[in-house]
Structure 1
């Protein structure tokens, strides 16, 4: 087999494709007793110890038994074929690991790939073909968003960005809980404040209610002259609109924008709830008992059957949940992701039961992610505790970048404690500052290079043979795989942690490899080539921060 028969791998994904191609060729040549369908895309990882090579795979150990051979024998066969690829050498380790080394010219070629791809680098097709409705936050329009909503705003928006970058067709949705008794209490609270009175018992006492009352009076100066019932209806309607507008402003400030704002009230007013009950009855899962209408969710793993319509004829919240699920289905979303708060664990089983009762496969059609609580400086926050921090207050205190990065940096299902004042510190112990500083440093290097006449007019990847350059090149190549993996697992924190490791690799490279010559030394080819590597790092950090909704500053 002639040298260069296989294409040169630049990223880990391309290396994995190369290894699979080598395996398939060996199968076609009769050297390996496997069917082509039995050859998966290998998993390629960085070895923990640098001396073991640039990349490693256990594919020979994974397939040897099925192929009826010894893992080291299969690994030896693969190594011989891999050595035919340009810039690639392979060696066998242990019981059958394949350790792979890339020539400097091969590894550093990633810099050209990144720079030429620009903002598109990292985008992939791993989620192509998936059409998803992603619902998150969905706070009641009876008050401002608080710190709990803030966590879901950061995670939900980052997840949407990840899924889009991975090829999925995503629609983000905010479910407005604008039906039920809480809206009446909110309207009564607004009206009371407009009259200069205390809010009624069980109402909403926050200062924002007085602000909403003022806005209502601006629109309806005659509010207090109306009959009580009419005044209450006006206060409820206009107060709701004003509060929803305030929520939208907050989210705009936070960089979160929804494709759809869906009203729960529209389900009731449009007859969707009654229609949902009828449709579920046709599926054979609705029954009547003691004057109420029930959904037999225990058939699908729920701990008890659920009431849809009470004996007095009033629909339950569960009935609205069922109607809402069917609405998403009817609007063309075969897959639905719900991001719910820590107090919604009980919803998982019942939502999946709704999907099953509707004739869908819950393992495909619905996914429920539960987020854990957030506290500030070790103190749990909550409306009932009287210490909940509004999202607007949090943004004013810490800034959007620090909040979004910090909230996206941890798995959603882990309780989170924010050290607010530490997030305000401008030092390298602050993770968001550390990553943003790396981006700003790359831009400063580029500006200095321009002043010294170092350009990207030429690129010789073979010049980038320093160990720090190999490490940085490898880190850049991992980005598309990180994005795809984070999207598949619904875990934006993987992008944040990757960015921190990339920033560390860059800071090390910066200390050891100069882009501009010292003093009056001449500009050499290595300087031009290093500028490519520097600018590739700029691009990847910017792309990664954008996935988290965080800015990439030019200077710090």
Structure 2
């Protein structure tokens, strides 16, 4: 199969001595399979009419893979390919865009001692899918996580937990597995309330927060270790239920703290400024804000720990790219942290990237529980399961996960997501379950056939060609999604593909039709492509629903 862009580039060089990379787009099907505006782009520098340039290019191109070249409008060139080329384009291809790239990406970051909320799930799903895209493109992917095992949230929870156990950590071992997450949420809420309402409690919590990883008290240590274990079991369970792939390594703030503080002090003065004993990064000079990395008491704060983490990840993986997915409100913070890291460690310039997501809002308007806490992911799982069951479908984890992931992924990264539980579970419209059902439907058609498929035909009817053309767009869409880190492009394509198949199937019989063989091959290509796209989104493609 010819490389159309290469042919056009060579023709432009031969005819006009111009070096230019042609841009190919997908026009409406009635106009062709590809289109290029190359004649319009070079006509000005040539001082010629763009249609004349287009006609010259058309006359020079000769290929058995092209059925026709047509000039449209002021000088667009529409290109129609042979059916055999469309069959070739419809082959699923793993990419090579990033085959020499090593990438480390944080795919989940919920903190222990707190419940995992919807925002955590949103960022985890986005990060995991970006990792899938890079993996599909041939990159070597390392999925990691990062969690706050020290700090204010730990102090608040431990304050309540120590009162709960009353000096007897064994009390925790009487808590049933199913009750542990509820207890942890309750303890954090009580600690937060005490922090706001009781000055004595506030002072005690601040102390617990400041020395949470150095305190030697045996009761404290046992409660801390038990609840850390509970927290990570819950986090791992939730992340698995989200459909995310397993992480390779878990990092903790306490592990990054010392290295971060050391780096800050080693680059003061220079990168950092000492002010009344605190170490400040002057981020306002770099489009961020001035941020204290080390407190006047010598304790590392968030910036120092993230600076340490950047180095730990580099030591462990030596990746060319390191990605962090966070909420939009952390954009300026990470701009400062990444700049500080590049100034301290010039060899890491350009390695770390922060990808900012929007916020999640429920269509009901409800985003917090009665006591003001943000909604936990367990609540959303339950609501989706109930909605699926009410539609008469088995509320399998695969369908629930498909509904959740797709609703998050179909929106452009950076935009807010309006999560409608009823809409997300529908078997009609742009939803995960709809695409899962579309795949199952295609597999059921294939299962009905007992004939042996013949060789590929190069003579397609109009509806057949339309479906094959859409299937053939897959590798281009995924390539663009990879280069732009935009999973929503895959979602949009899969929905359009399913709609194209529905139109085809509505007007064309497959089983027991004289053209059964070629149409079964089209259904096979369609189903395989749909499954491949869903796998990038980490959504299962069931054979039956």
Pick the TM interval, shorter chain: 0.7 to 0.9
Provide the secondary structure at the position in 1 that maps to 2:267.
helix
1:353–1:362: 8 Å Cα contact kept in structure 2? no
Change (3 A) 1:70 1:278: farther
Per-residue deviation, 1:207 = 6.7
1:212–1:243: 8 Å Cα contact kept in structure 2? no
1:380 and 1:21 map into 2 onto residues whose CA distance is 56
Identify the range of structure 1 (358-367 vs 399-408) with the bigger mean alpha-carbon deviation.
358-367
Change (3 A) 1:251 1:208: same
Provide the secondary structure at the position in 1 that maps to 2:461.
coil
Residue 35 of structure 2 is aligned to residue 39 of structure 1 = no
1:182 and 1:433 map into 2 onto residues whose CA distance is 37
Change (3 A) 1:412 1:375: same
1:179 and 1:539 map into 2 onto residues whose CA distance is 47
- In structure 2, list runs of 5 or more residues that go unmatched: 169-178, 188-214, 385-399
1:230 and 1:261 map into 2 onto residues whose CA distance is 25
1:110 and 1:413 map into 2 onto residues whose CA distance is 32
Residue 238 of structure 2 is aligned to residue 250 of structure 1 = yes
Residue 298 of structure 2 is aligned to residue 325 of structure 1 = no
Q: Residue 401 of structure 1 aligns with which residue?
A: 402
2:89 and 2:335 map into 1 onto residues whose CA distance is 46
1:383 and 1:123 map into 2 onto residues whose CA distance is 44
Q: Residue 5 of structure 1 aligns with which residue?
A: none
Q: Tell me the alpha carbon deviations over residues 369-402 of structure 1, each in whole angstroms, 9 at most, x when there is no partner.
A: 2222212233152479635332233224321111
2:151 and 2:544 map into 1 onto residues whose CA distance is 50
1:190–1:213: 8 Å Cα contact kept in structure 2? no
* Paired residues, number: 491
User: Equivalences for 1:415-430 in 2 at 5 Å?
Assistant: 415-425=416-426, 427-429=427-429
For the aligned residue pairs, the C-alpha RMSD in angstroms reads: 2.8
1:315 and 1:484 map into 2 onto residues whose CA distance is 41
Identify the range of structure 1 (170-179 vs 123-132) with the bigger mean alpha-carbon deviation.
123-132
1:373 and 1:441 map into 2 onto residues whose CA distance is 34
Change (3 A) 1:213 1:90: closer
1:382 and 1:337 map into 2 onto residues whose CA distance is 29
Q: Residue 410 of structure 1 aligns with which residue?
A: 411
2:68 and 2:322 map into 1 onto residues whose CA distance is 45
Per-residue deviation, 1:361 = 8.7
Provide the secondary structure at the position in 1 that maps to 2:374.
coil
Per-residue deviation, 1:236 = 1.2
Change (3 A) 1:316 1:65: same
Q: Tell me the alpha carbon deviations over residues 108-134 of structure 1, each in whole angstroms, 9 at most, x when there is no partner.
A: 4445xx2xxxxxx24212233333221
Change (3 A) 1:307 1:212: closer
Residue 510 of structure 2 is aligned to residue 515 of structure 1 = yes
Change (3 A) 1:334 1:384: farther
2:294–2:304: 8 Å Cα contact kept in structure 1? yes
Q: Residue 53 of structure 1 aligns with which residue?
A: 32
Could you tell me which of 477, 486, 496 is aligned with 1:501?
Answer: 496
2:477–2:489: 8 Å Cα contact kept in structure 1? yes
Per-residue deviation, 1:532 = 1.1
1:47–1:55: 8 Å Cα contact kept in structure 2? yes
Q: Residue 470 of structure 2 aligns with which residue?
A: 475
Change (3 A) 1:308 1:500: same
Provide the secondary structure at the position in 2 that maps to 1:31.
helix
Q: Residue 295 of structure 2 aligns with which residue?
A: 310
Q: Residue 251 of structure 2 aligns with which residue?
A: 262
2:425–2:432: 8 Å Cα contact kept in structure 1? no
Per-residue deviation, 1:499 = 0.3
User: Equivalences for 1:109-148 in 2 at 5 Å?
Assistant: 109-111=88-90, 114=91, 121-148=92-119
- Report the TM-score, using the length of structure 1 for normalisation: 0.81
Q: Residue 554 of structure 1 aligns with which residue?
A: 543
2:98–2:134: 8 Å Cα contact kept in structure 1? yes
